[in-house]
Amino acid sequence: MNRQAQTVVLLLTGGALLHAGFTDLYLRYVKAGLQPLLISAGVVLIAVAIATLWYDRRTTRHSQAQTQTQGHEHEQAHAHHEPRVSWLLVLPLLALVLVAPPAVGSYTAMRTGAALQQQPWGYPTLPADGTLRLSVADYAGRAVYDKGRALAGRPLKVTGFLALDGAGTPYLVRMALNCCAADAQPVKIALSGELPAVLRPDTWIEVTGTYTPKQTKDPVNGTAVPFLDVTTTKPVKAPQDPYDEAWNG
Amino acid sequence: MKMDSITKKGRRTGHEQPRPASRMTTDKGEPARTAQPFHTEVPSPVVMTKEEAPRTPDSPDSPDSPDSPHRSRHLDAPLVLTMLLILAVVAQDPLRGLLDAPVTQSWMTVFVAVVVQALPFLVLGVLLSAVIAVFVPASFFARALPKRPALAVPAAGLAGVVLPGCECASVPVAGALVRRGVTPTAALAFLLSAPAINPIVLTATAVAFPGNPEMVLARFVASLLVACAMGWLWQRVGRGEWMRPPERPSYEGQSKGAAFWGSVRHDVMHAGGFLVVGAMAAATLKAVVPASWLNAAADHPLIAILALAVLAVLLSICSEADAFVAASLTQFSLTSRLAFLVVGPMIDLKLFAMQTATFGRAFALRFAPATFALAILVSALVGAVLL
């Protein structure tokens, strides 16, 4: 890989990082906290490309005057090469800019064991009346570890995306993220009750329902998965950040 | 004719010229190499005009003429890149159809995620390594580290506490330390300990294991022990020739700025390519291999440790996030999850590829299995004592 090609790849990679960092695209792949790092990395990569161009021009201009320093010229010529493996940097670039793969969804969720952790400091008390809005992880945590205390007998609203297991059981899922999509883990709620006739995986819905003490076990890792008794469902827009990041503090 | 002119010239100036000349004729795909014969020709205008005459007959001495003979070849790489981009845009719809399958989508998401997540840390490590290579005098490390390698190893291992990044940052930094004359044993201890025992990673571990604070201590102790043990082991049995002196230009005779940016560019291109290899392997594992395979291994205590150690190598998760993944592997014992946390930051597919790039294949092939075995052994022992 010669120097000009390197400059192009560096420039494009930096540009792609900036593009992902300034739009919401990066939220599909990494946690929100990485945004400043992504943007600064993009700036540095572009700076490297510009510096390479600038020093190349200077070297060309001064090369006549430096005829006696042939040894250095020789070594510099060596430095122009990088192994062919550097070309692979083009792949994530193409994937990010042209394809922009979606956030991990039902396929990964159903292959990965549910993640649910007991909060050691317990669960804060909920407002006493009205419809409760809970995150998937909050409902699942309270249902499994808090025995549904303060949930029973009141209307609940939970938002997540749909996933179906092999037997066709519907789940409401939200992926919890720690660092990047490679470590995303699903938090699952099994759904029962009044469900729409057609269930399409990966569609985002808001479920209104009530607590039920029924539980099942995740077939993949045996974690407890609570049920939610659904009364109505409503399709909603996918949230800006598809992942639940509150989970790890 | 080209070769003749160069060898003639080489004899005249007493340089060893025939080698680059023959390379130039064999290696057409690598255009920049053709720059060598050109530069060496500058002092002998007679030869140069002979060669240049057909292309730039009017200005053989102008400063721009150097580029003209190989500019056409230089265009190759960007041209191919542009063609690829255009092709991809034109074939976008069929490609989309192909990529709509959940497996490919999941593969690509994980692949992009690993690269996007690791690039900022790689850039950070590369900048730090360029600072070490260009601005920190070699004498600083000679003074900062104890003279005896046996003592320098634990000192360097503990110094890992100050690099607040993940493993992608530590490889280029360790490479720069070796080049700066730091004894390899100490640099290796730093390479292994830095991603595992820095405050960010330890805090993440504490958050991920709220019920088991002893996990943090166990991780710290086990990682530091493995790092020091590998350093001392390298001092005992390691041989200099295994570690290929990292191929890079000498920055002498360049301005500090040129040297700094040259080093950054070199490291990003080098390590970045290998990072992509590791990301592809990790994405394949995550998207294709069913997680239920793991359950079979969880029941037997020893097999559980081995299984999670292998998983840590294959998954190549950032060391800042691996604690959360370990916490979710609830069917496994704490000791086996400790092995996951100790092995992961020290050796995984992505790291192996990057170590190969920085220190050479002979080194990586010996160093990686030794680290893997030692990390498993130490985590089993530490787990037995502390957990």
Nearest CA in chain A to B316: A182
Give the pLDDT of residue B338: 94
Q: Which residue in this structure is represented by tokens 């900036």?
A: A18
Domain final residue, candidates A101, A128, A144: A101
- Verify that A122 and A164 share a domain, yes or no: yes
A214/chain B closest Cα distance in angstroms:
22
Quickly tell me which residue has 């995620």 as its tokens.
Answer: B113
Closest among B119, B210, B134, B98 to B169, alpha carbons compared: B119
Mean pLDDT of B149-157: 87
Tens digits of pLDDT across chain A (249 residues): 778 888 999 999 999 999 999 998 999 998 888 899 999 999 999 999 999 999 888 877 776 555 544 444 444 444 445 667 788 888 998 888 888 888 988 998 888 888 887 776 778 888 777 788 889 988 998 888 888 887 888 889 999 999 998 888 899 999 988 778 888 889 999 999 988 888 899 999 999 999 999 999 888 778 889 999 999 999 999 998 999 887 554
Q: What is the pLDDT of residue B130?
A: 83
Rounded to two decimals, the ipTM of the complex is: 0.88
Residue A160's domain spans which residues?
107-248
Q: Which residues pair with A210 in a beta bridge?
A: A229
CA B109 to CA A100: how far, in whole Å? Answer: 8
Residue of A nearest to B95 (CA): A99
pLDDT of residue B180: 81
Closest CA to A228 of A146, A111, A130, A148: A148
Instruction: Assign B361 a pLDDT band (cuts: 50, 70, 90).
Output: confident
Q: What does the pLDDT read at residue B168?
A: 73
pLDDT at B247: 55
Which residues on A lie below 8 Å from B321 (Cβ)? 178-180, 182-183
Residue showing tokens 């996918």: A238
- Environment class of residue B25 by beta-carbon count within 10 Å: exposed (0-12), middle (13-18) or buried (19+)? exposed
CB B81 within 8 A of CB A5: yes
DSSP classification of residue A202:
T
CA atoms of B222 and B386, how far apart (whole Å): 10
Confidence of residue B284 (pLDDT cuts 50, 70, 90): confident
Contacts of A74 in chain B (CB under 8 A): 20, 36, 39-40
- Concatenated DSSP letters of A72-107: HHHHHHHHT---GGGGGGHHHHHIIIII-PPPP-HH
pLDDT digits (tens, 9 = 90+) for B229-257: 999 998 888 877 787 755 555 555 677 88
SS3 A15: helix
Best CA proximity match to A173, nearest among A238, A121, A128: A238
What sign for the dihedral angle of Cα A193, A197, A201, A207? negative
Q: What CATH code is carried by the domain that includes residue A137?
A: 2.40.50.140
Give A135→chain B minimum CA distance, Å: 19
Please state the rounded mean pLDDT for residues B166-177. Answer: 81
Residue B64 has pLDDT above 70, yes or no: no
- 3-class SS letters over chain B: CHHHHHHHHHHHHCCCCHHHHHHHHHCCCCHHHHHHHHHHHCCCHHHHHHHHCCCCCCCCCCCCCCCHHHHHHHCHHHHHHHHHHHHHHHCHHHHHHHHCCHHHHHHHHHHHHHHHHHHHHHHHHHHHHHHHHHCCCHHHHHHHCCCCHHHHHHHHHHHHHHCCCCHHHHHHHHHHHHHCCCCHHHHHHHHHHHHHHCHHHHHHHHHHCCCCCHHHHHHHHHHHHHHHHHHHHHHHHCCHHHCCCCCCCCCCCCCHHHHHHHHHHHHHHHHHHHHHHHHHHHHHHHHHCCCCHHHHHCCCHHHHHHHHHHHHHHHCCCCCCHHHHHHHCCCCCHHHHHHHHHHHHHCCHHHHHHHHHHHCHHHHHHHHHHHHHHHHHHHHHHHHHHC
* A213 in the same domain as A160: yes
Cβ-based contacts of B269 with chain A (< 8 Å) = 1, 6, 9-10, 82, 86, 89
Kindly determine whether residue A111 and residue B274, on different chains, have CB atoms separated by under 8 Å: no
- Chain B residues whose beta carbon lies within 8 Å of the beta carbon of residue A222: 295, 330-331
Render pLDDT for A179-221 as a digit per residue (tens, 0 to 9).
Answer: 788 888 899 999 999 888 888 999 999 999 999 999 998 887 7
Rounded CA gap, B341 and B212, in Å?
A: 14
Q: Is the pLDDT of residue B33 over 80?
A: no
Which residue of B44, B215, B265, B322 is the best one to mutate when testing the A interface, meaning the one whose CB has the most A CBs within 10 A? B265
Q: Give yes or no for residue B44 having a pLDDT over 60.
A: no
Mutation target among A91, A123, A202, A220 for the B interface, most CBs of B within 10 A:
A91
User: Measured between alpha carbons, how far is A142 from B129 in angstroms, rounded to an integer?
Assistant: 48
What is the average pLDDT across B58-74?
A: 41
Q: A85, A101, A117 — which closes off a domain?
A: A101
**A92 plus A115 within the same structural domain:** no
Residue B328: list chain A partners with CB under 8 A. 113, 115, 185, 221
Q: Kindly list the domain boundaries of chain B, sorted by start residue.
A: 2-76, 117-386
pLDDT of B215 higher than 80? yes
Average pLDDT across chain B, whole number: 75
pLDDT of residue A85: 77
Q: How many domains does chain A have?
A: 2
Same domain, A112 and A88: no
- A83 and A134 housed in the same domain: no
pLDDT at B346: 92
Strand (E) positions, A64-203? 132-134, 156-164, 170-176, 185-193
Tell whether A211 and A154 lie within a shared domain. Answer: yes
Query: Which residues in A lie closer than 8 A to residue B42 (C-beta atoms)?
Result: 63-64, 67
Last residue in a domain, options A41, A66, A101: A101
Task: Name the minimum distance, in Å, from the CA of B174 to any CA of chain A.
Answer: 20
Looking at the structure, tell me whether residues A238 and A118 fall in a common domain: yes
Do residue A201 and residue A225 come from a single domain? Answer: yes
